[in-house]
Homo-oligomer: A and B are copies of this chain.
Amino acid sequence: MAIKQQTSRKAAGTGAAIRRPQTRAANDRTLGDAGDDIGLDALVGHAGYVVRRFQLWIFQDFVKTLATVDIRPTQYSVMTVIGANPGLSQMAVAKRLGIERARLVHLLDSLEERAFVSRIPSATDRRSHALHLTGRGKTALAQFKRLAAEHERHVADKIGKENREQLLRILACFT
**Which residues of A approach B to under 8 Å, CB–CB?**
2, 4, 6-9, 11-12, 14, 16-24, 27-33, 35, 38-59, 62, 73, 77, 80-81, 83-89, 92, 95-96, 98, 109, 112-113, 118-130, 132, 145, 148, 151-152, 155, 158-160, 163-164, 166-168, 170-175
* In the complex with contacts A51-B171, A87-B24, A128-B31, A80-B7 CB distance below 8 A: no
Residue in B52, B85, B119 whose beta carbon sits within 8 Å of that of A55 in the complex: B52
**Complex Cα gap A163–B172 (Å):** 12
Residues of the B chain whose Cβ atoms lie less than 8 Å from the Cβ of A7: 118-121, 129, 173-174
18 contacts between A and B (CB under 8 A): A4-B98, A27-B87, A28-B132, A29-B86, A33-B92, A42-B145, A43-B77, A43-B81, A45-B152, A47-B58, A47-B152, A48-B59, A48-B73, A49-B73, A50-B168, A50-B172, A51-B171, A160-B170
Q: How far is the CB of A14 from chain B (nearest CB, A)?
A: 4
**Within 8 Å CB of A118, what residues of B?**
7
Q: Given the known inter-chain contacts A49-B175, A170-B167, A175-B40, please indicate yes or no for A22 contacting B130, CB distance below 8 A.
A: no
